[in-house]
Chain A
Amino acid sequence: MLRVILSRLLQAIPVLFGVSLIVFLLLRLVPGDPVSTFYGFDVGRVEDLQAMRHQLGLDRPMLVQYVDFLADAIQGDMGTSIKTRRPVATELVRYLTNTAQLAVAGMIFAVVGGILLGLIAAARRNSIWDNLSLAISLAGISLPIFWLGLMLVWIFAVQLSLLPSGGRGDWHNLILPAITLAAPSVAVIARVTRASLMEVINQDFVRTAYSKGLSEAFVLLRHVLPNGLLPVITVTGIQFGYLLAGTVLTETVFAWPGLGRYLVDAIKFRDYPVVQGGVLVIALIFVTINLVVDVLYFLIDPRLHSEAAK
């Protein structure tokens, strides 16, 4: 067990190293640099640009800059944003928290909505309910986030004045963006739940349960659902990754100050330290999620135990 975790951690080092190098090089290969973007056309003298480049250390050789960045990053220092002159690490924590908040809220909607729809569809196979659930899933996966988000805002913020149209605040502000973000995942989870539950419903022990005279609701919730959930959990994990990474559109529609929007702005501005730090942190998150999934599988699947023992 410990060996598995250790080996995975060791494997993560070259991945993170590679990511940092690629981001660093890509940023400098792309035309444009932060100092001239910062000044735009509002330049008095070229010396002012040179002075700022010097102050930021951008006039040093690339290798020196990279080694410097790496050395600082290992100690948790991501440098200072060129645009805002605030520490990148603090900024990343702030925006990552906001994004995680949105992703978790979206996940709750996706899991609850998806499993509910899938359960109904499986229990009433080929009925109107099944078709309705299919229709809702299809809609969720096909509607563009921009359109869905704006529609929800139009209905709930403009017409009904029930919820705020955007921005961060209390839980009211979370509802619309979370629903928007969750819509495609609801569909995926619902379809997987339906397929998996239908397999279980046809099994002998379910028939036995019914024949004991148990109510349908009890059988479904106590016997069918728990047994059909393993594939759902797998899919949910993958979907959570998507939600974390896919928030940028939702963040834009709802003016949610999350990591996606922050990074897109930083890329436009060529804010080197922010982009480097941000991508590194995202890579770190993916490595961690993979590690957690590996460990979970290891815990759930006994076959892996015996292999590891060999």
Chain B
Amino acid sequence: MKSRTLPVFSLLVIVALLLAACGGTPTTTSPTQPAAQPTEPESESQPTEPPAQPTEALAASEVPAGTEAPAATEASATGGNLIYVLPTDIASLDPHALIETVSGMVDLQMFETLLALLPDGSVGPRLATEWSVSDDNLRWTLKLREGVVFHDGEAFDANAAKANFDRILNPDNALPAVRVLAGVTEVNVIDDFTLEIVTQAPFGPLPFHLAHYSLAMVSPRALQEMTPEELAQNPVGTGPFRFVSYTPNESIVLERFDDYWGEKAKVDMVTFRPIPETAGRALLIETGEAHIAAKIAPQDVDTLRGVDGLHVDVNAFPRVIFVHMNESHAPLDDVRVRQALSWAVDREAIANDLLRGLAVPATGPVGSGVFGYSKTENYGYDPDRARELLAEAGVEGLTLKMLVPAGRYQGGEEAAQAVQAQLANVGVTVDLEVLEFSTLLQAIRKPAAESEWDLLVFGFIPATNDADWQVYSQFHCDSQAPVSNNFSYYCSEEMDALLEQGRFTMDQDERLKVYKQVIQLALDDAIQLYLFENTDIYAVRNNVQGLVYMPIDYQFLNTVSLSGGD
């Protein structure tokens, strides 16, 4: 027995050690890898050279920059490696295949759109310098910037832009970006630096759409030579940063693009690190392993505020959390009942006490940073009035089924419970059901006749930062679920006329006036029950300078620099 167990055991140990050794220096497996990087554990201050290889499978084993603890705090006055913590991994490096802002944030460092959002929420020039619309409001002419080159050396011109739009508009490609171009019928080259975009009907929000990250310009050569799978891993844009490497769930590394036409990046490199755990994000910034951490959880704010060397930025974030009231179900078709429910909810208490001031009571359906926002008077907290209205409508012993997506919105579930308690106070019983997001979608994307819920907690931020994106999809008769986001099954001619006017109007100031009426009508009809606006919380080391927050949660990092200490 002795003679057998000992060898077996030693074998086991040897195998284990071998495996560990292979795991520790994992550059051995792929023939395409550059030679193993000497990774001295002591050399913590120097930013590690990222792998020159793009993304392939075993690049995963390369040592990603930024994993060494104090690198972040010891960046020099010029350049340095900016380490930015993301709340999730990115989905794709192909902007046309994107649908969410985390990927959008990363892609916008490497790619540029024709127009771009400005910090005040309006739209300004980027790859296009000026734009105008024809007299029939159907033809938009854009002057393109000259002297812009892609990271692969290709020149940017009208043909390059057209190649991008053609790719998106081709229905065979089934690219998510097409949703931002709905209504655009064709894109024409007028001359080398003039582009024409033709829409089916007048479409006032178009400039905001052209600033959306999924309409970013990809090198025409890349579009021609790469498959969709390759494009998803090899981004080639015109932005201030150039792609270096991507290791899924670990890091995305970018470096400064020296031939950038605009304000050149101040840092040498940017490393994005996706950390889905909220506690993990807070820790990375606390230990100084990162410079900027996005989406800090409310429970971590107090701790981080007590840490030296960093500050916490609580930004308004124009996502409004509200409750859809299913008007296909009696008695919610009665405006008095909807108003009663609106009066019964104490928004101040929810925002200030329950969510500890990290939320702002909503004034209406549209968030405060969005183009089209107007300050309006939301329903106050008046349970007596709620009871009167319910009595007037002849409603007694009402029981409603409320759906909430799990973990989707900051404060969403807590607020739903508060609403449940506050409605109980006026005699309305709420059965609360928390559903996983995919399951919830399945349950609500149905025509009115099949809907089996009364209240639905919902959050929305218009991806284009233009109110049209939100209100048209939520209030128009033609947008009723399952087609789009009108889950209230609301329908009124007055509203439809206003929404269409908002689209047909080209003058942006005029559009603002239209949306003010839309918002007021939404409140009068109590289409939804508006709760609060989320905030967007960032933790930033003090040596980070020049960080400018955009209204939707992204930043352009070329303006950011790192100073010596912190």
Residues of A bordering B, CB below 8 Å: 30-33, 36-46, 48, 51-52, 54-55, 80, 83-87, 90-91, 93-95, 97-98, 100-101, 104-105, 107-108, 111, 150, 153, 157-158, 161, 163-174, 226-227, 229-230, 233, 236, 252-255, 257, 261-262, 268-270, 296, 300
Residue-wise interface mask of B (61-74) relative to A, using a CB-CB cutoff of 8 A (1 in contact, 0 not): 10110011110000
B327 is an interface residue with CB less than 8 A from chain A:
no
Q: Does B436 contact A (CB under 8 A)?
A: yes
Is B2 in contact with A227, judged by CB distance below 8 angstroms?
A: yes
- CB of B246 to closest CB in A, whole Å: 10
Nearest chain B residue, comparing its CB with the CB of A38: B99
- Within the assembled complex, what's the spacing in Å between the Cα atoms of A190 and B284? 34
> Which candidate, B141-149, B274-282, B336-344, B346-354, is the interface stretch facing chain A?
B274-282
A168 touches B67 (CB 8 A): yes
A261–B274 Cα distance when bound, in Å, is 13
Q: Are A42 and B57 in contact, with the CB atoms below 8 A?
A: no
Binds A, one of B4-12, B257-265, B554-562: B4-12
| Segment at the interface with A among B16-24, B386-394, B526-534, B542-550 | B16-24
10 A-B pairs whose Cβ atoms sit less than 8 Å apart in the complex: A31-B439, A40-B441, A43-B485, A85-B94, A100-B19, A167-B250, A168-B60, A169-B63, A172-B41, A268-B437
Separation of A40 and B485 alpha carbons in the complex (Å)? 10
CB distance from B456 to the nearest CB of A (A): 11
On chain A, the residues within 8 Å of B180 by CB distance are: 44
Interface check B283, CB cutoff 8 A: yes
Which of B41, B56, B441, B482 makes the CB contact (< 8 A) with A46? B482
Whether B67 pairs with A170 at a CB distance below 8 angstroms is yes
A90 contacts across to B, CB distance below 8 A: 56-57
Contact with A along B426-441 (1 / 0, CB 8 A): 0000000000111101
Contacts of A31 in B (CB 8 A): 438-439, 442-443
Residues of B within 8 A of A168 (CB): 60, 64, 67, 250
Cα-based distance from A150 to B374 in the complex (angstroms): 45
Q: Interface majority SS on A: helix, strand, loop or mixed? A: helix
- Among B20, B289, B438, B443, point to the contact of A108 (Cβ < 8 A): B20
List, in ascending order, chain B residues with CB within 8 A of A42's CB: 99-100, 179, 463
Give the shortest distance, in Å, between B552 (CB) and chain A (any CB).
Answer: 12
Verify if B182 is at the interface (C-beta below 8 Å from A): yes
Contact A80 B229 (CB under 8 A): yes
The answer to whether the Cβ of B424 comes within 8 Å of any Cβ in the partner chain is no
Interface membership of B460, Cβ < 8 A? yes
Q: How many A-B pairs fall under 8 Å by CB?
A: 213
User: Quick one: given A44-B179, A101-B23, A161-B287, are A86 and B232 in contact (CB under 8 Å)?
Assistant: yes
Give Cα A149 to B148, complex, Å: 49
B97 interface contact, C-beta 8 A: yes
A164 adjacent to B438 (CB under 8 Å): no
Q: Determine how close the nearest CB of chain B comes to the CB of A232; give it in whole angstroms.
A: 8
B174 within 8 A of partner (CB): yes
| Structural contact, B5 and A227, CB atoms closer than 8 A | yes
Residues of B within 8 A of A86 (CB): 229, 232-233, 248
Q: How far is the CB of A48 from chain B (nearest CB, A)?
A: 5
Q: Which residues of A contact B67 (CB under 8 A)?
A: 164, 167-170, 173
> In this assembly, does B286 line the interface, its C-beta being within 8 Å of a C-beta of chain A?
yes
Name the contact of A41 in the complex, choosing from B6, B68, B485 (C-beta under 8 A): B485
Q: With A101-B23, A150-B279, A161-B287 known to touch, is A257 a contact of B249 (CB < 8 Å)?
A: yes
Closest residue of A by beta carbon distance from B288: A161
Nearest-Cβ distance from residue A258 to partner chain B, whole angstroms:
9
B445 within 8 A of A: yes
Tell me the complex Cα distance, A166–B275, Å: 9
CB closest chain-B residue, reference A92: B57
Please name the residue on chain B nearest to A154 by beta carbon.
Answer: B283
